[in-house]
C-alpha cells in the first residue's frame, strides 16, 4: 500500500487546496499518471501518481485545504487489488446513506438557498463553545491572527485541525461559515414573509459577484505576507541594450532554425544577473531570524503569467548555463507552467527572481519580493529611443531595470552596485551565444 501525500510546493507553503480528483476510488493508475489537481499561492497544477496500482482509498474531498505531507489517498498493489476492489463497492453501496451527510453540510453552507439550513445549523456554534476554555494549540500564523482580528473572533473557540492542533486558515473560514449559517435563522422567516416587497437580486443588478479562485486567494495571501515581512525598496537603472539587440538580431534566425524557438532578451538579462549574483552573494541569500543564509547555488525564478494567476518556476544552476541554455530553460518551464505540467521541485529552491513585465509594454514597475528571497529584478520594455552618445543624438535600444530589495539586509548603495553590474554586463556585451 502506498500513501499519496500533499506535496511541498514551495519553501513557504504549508498547505494547499485539492481542487479536483482526476481518478476515482477503484481506478487503475500508472506511475506518474496525473492523479489530482492542487492549488496554492505558487502553483495550480496536476500531481502525478507516486506508484502504479489501484486507487483504493480517497481520504480528502475536492475543495478541502490540507497540510503539506498529509495523506490524501492510498494506492494498493494491482495484484492484490481485486479483493479490495470488490470490497470497496460493497462498502460504498452501504456507505451512501452516511457519507452524503457530512459532504452535504459544507455544500449547503456555500449554497445560496439557505432556508433549509438555519434550523439544524443553530446548534452548530455549541460545538466550538464547548472548547471555549481551551487555549489554541500550536503557533498561530500571521494570516490566522489577522483574520481573527479583522473578524473579531475568539480563537479559543476554534478547533485546530493542523499539525499538533494548529489552527489553519481553513479552520477559521469553517468557523465563520458555521456562524454565518446560524445567524440568518431569525432573518430568513421575515425575509420570506416580506419577500415580494424587495427582491434579493435588486442589490446586485449593477454588479456581478464571484468568488476568487483558490490560486488567486493564495497569491493574495502570499503578497500580503511578503509586504508584511520585507522592507521593500526599489531602485531603477536605465540600461543601453544596443549591443545585446545587435547580437540578438545577428543570431535570431539561426537560433530559431537550430533550436525551434525564438531568441528573446530575457536570457541575456538572466545571464547578466548570474554574474552580478556571483559578485554580490548577499543578493543570493535569505534571512532566517537574525541569521543570514548564503546559498551556494544560483537558482533563478522566472515569473510566468497564467490565466488568472502567476507562477515562478526555477532555473536550477542558472550560472552554469549560457544564453542558449537559459533560453531553452525559460521556454520549457513557461510552456509546462501554462500546461500545468510543472513538478513540485521545479517551483522550489529559487534564490533570486526575475519578472519581465516589459513583455506587456510596461516601462518599469516595483515588483514584490518572492519570499524567502531578498531581491527581485524587474525588466521593462526594450524600445528604441533618441539618446545622447558622445555629445551627439543617436538611436539606442534602452530599457529600465527595477531592482526591489529587502532593506532589512541590503542597503541602497549595495543595491545600486549590484544593478550597476548587471547594467555593465549588458552594455558591454561580447559573449557569443551559439
The answer on 31 and 152 residing in a single domain is no
Q: Please name the residue that has the C-alpha cell 503578497.
A: 223
The answer on 302 and 356 residing in a single domain is yes
Averaged pLDDT of the chain: 81
Tell me: pLDDT of 105 over 60. Answer: no
Tell me: pLDDT of 164 over 70. Answer: no
Residues 112-127 have a mean pLDDT of 42
Which pLDDT belongs to residue 217? 86
What's the number of CA atoms in the CB half-sphere (13 Å) around residue 147?
Answer: 19
Indicate the number of domains in the chain: 3
Tell me: pLDDT of 83 over 70. Answer: no
Q: Look up residue 386 and give its three cell numbers.
A: 533618441
Pairing relation of β-strands 300-302 and 352-355? Answer: parallel
CATH number of the CATH domain containing 164: 4.10.320.10
pLDDT in tens, 367-406: 999 999 999 999 999 999 999 999 999 999 999 999 999 9
Q: Tell me the C-alpha distance between 108 and 114, whole Å.
A: 7
Which pLDDT belongs to residue 307? 81
Tell me the catalytic residues: 407, 411
Tell me: pLDDT of 211 over 60. Answer: yes
Residues 6+ apart with CB under 8 A from 285: 292, 293, 294, 295, 351, 374, 409
Tell me: pLDDT of 412 over 60. Answer: yes
Check: pTM over 0.85? Answer yes or no.
no
Q: Tell me the C-alpha distance between 104 and 60, whole Å.
A: 15
Domain that holds residue 18: 2-95
Q: Tell me the C-alpha distance between 359 and 42, whole Å.
A: 21
Tell me: pLDDT of 185 over 60. Answer: no
The answer on 90 and 127 residing in a single domain is no
The answer on 363 and 268 residing in a single domain is yes
The answer on 387 and 293 residing in a single domain is yes
Q: Which of 406, 401, 407 is CA-nearest to residue 235?
A: 401
CATH number of the CATH domain containing 240: 3.30.559.10
Which pLDDT belongs to residue 101? 41
Tell me: pLDDT of 62 over 80. Answer: yes
Residues 6+ apart with CB under 8 A from 424: none
- Residue 18 forms part of a structural domain: yes
Amino acid at each position: 500500500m502506498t500513501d499519496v501525500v500533499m506535496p511541498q510546493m514551495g519553501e513557504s507553503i504549508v498547505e494547499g487546496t485539492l481542487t479536483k480528483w482526476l481518478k476515482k476510488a477503484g481506478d487503475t493508475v500508472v506511475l506518474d499518471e496525473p492523479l489530482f489537481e492542487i492549488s496554492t499561492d505558487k502553483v495550480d497544477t496536476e500531481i502525478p501518481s507516486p506508484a502504479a496500482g489501484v486507487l483504493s482509498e480517497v481520504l480528502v474531498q475536492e475543495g478541502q485545504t490540507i497540510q503539506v505531507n498529509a495523506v490524501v489517498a492510498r494506492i494498493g498493489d494491482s495484484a492484490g487489488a481485486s479483493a479490495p476492489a470488490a470490497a470497496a463497492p460493497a462498502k460504498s453501496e452501504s456507505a451512501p446513506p452516511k457519507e452524503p451527510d457530512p459532504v452535504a453540510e459544507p455544500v449547503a453552507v456555500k449554497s445560496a438557498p439557505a432556508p433549509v439550513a438555519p434550523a439544524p445549523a443553530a446548534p452548530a456554534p455549541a460545538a466550538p463553545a464547548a472548547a471555549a476554555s481551551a487555549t489554541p494549540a500550536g503557533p498561530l500564523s500571521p494570516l490566522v491572527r489577522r483574520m481573527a482580528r479583522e473578524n473579531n473572533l475568539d480563537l479559543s473557540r476554534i478547533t485546530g485541525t493542523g499539525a499538533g492542533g494548529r489552527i489553519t486558515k481553513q479552520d477559521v473560514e469553517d468557523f465563520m461559515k458555521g456562524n454565518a449559517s446560524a445567524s440568518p435563522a431569525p432573518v430568513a422567516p421575515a425575509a420570506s414573509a416580506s419577500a415580494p416587497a424587495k427582491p434579493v437580486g435588486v442589490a446586485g443588478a449593477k454588479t456581478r459577484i464571484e468568488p476568487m479562485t483558490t490560486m488567486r486567494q493564495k497569491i493574495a495571501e502570499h503578497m500580503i505576507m511578503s509586504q508584511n515581512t520585507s522592507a521593500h525598496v526599489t531602485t531603477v537603472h536605465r540600461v543601453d541594450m544596443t549591443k545585446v539587440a545587435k547580437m540578438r538580431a545577428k543570431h535570431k534566425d539561426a537560433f530559431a532554425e537550430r533550436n525551434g524557438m525564438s531568441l528573446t532578451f530575457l536570457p541575456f538579462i538572466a545571464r547578466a544577473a548570474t554574474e552580478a549574483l556571483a559578485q554580490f552573494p548577499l543578493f543570493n541569500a535569505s534571512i532566517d531570524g537574525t541569521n543570514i543564509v548564503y546559498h551556494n547555488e544560483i537558482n533563478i525564478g522566472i515569473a510566468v503569467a497564467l490565466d488568472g494567476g502567476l507562477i515562478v518556476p526555477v532555473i536550477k544552476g542558472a550560472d552554469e548555463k549560457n544564453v542558449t541554455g537559459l533560453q531553452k530553460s525559460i521556454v520549457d518551464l513557461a510552456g509546462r507552467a501554462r500546461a500545468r505540467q510543472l513538478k513540485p521541485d521545479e517551483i522550489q529552491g529559487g534564490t533570486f527572481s526575475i519578472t519581465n513585465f516589459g513583455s506587456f509594454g510596461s516601462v518599469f514597475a516595483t515588483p514584490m519580493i518572492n519570499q524567502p528571497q531578498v531581491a527581485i529584478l524587474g525588466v521593462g520594455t526594450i524600445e528604441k529611443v533618441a539618446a545622447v552618445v558622445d555629445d551627439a543624438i543617436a538611436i539606442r535600444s534602452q530599457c529600465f531595470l527595477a531592482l526591489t530589495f529587502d532593506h532589512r539586509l541590503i542597503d541602497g548603495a549595495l543595491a545600486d552596485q549590484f544593478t550597476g553590474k548587471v547594467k555593465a554586463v549588458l552594455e558591454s556585451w561580447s559573449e557569443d551565444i551559439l
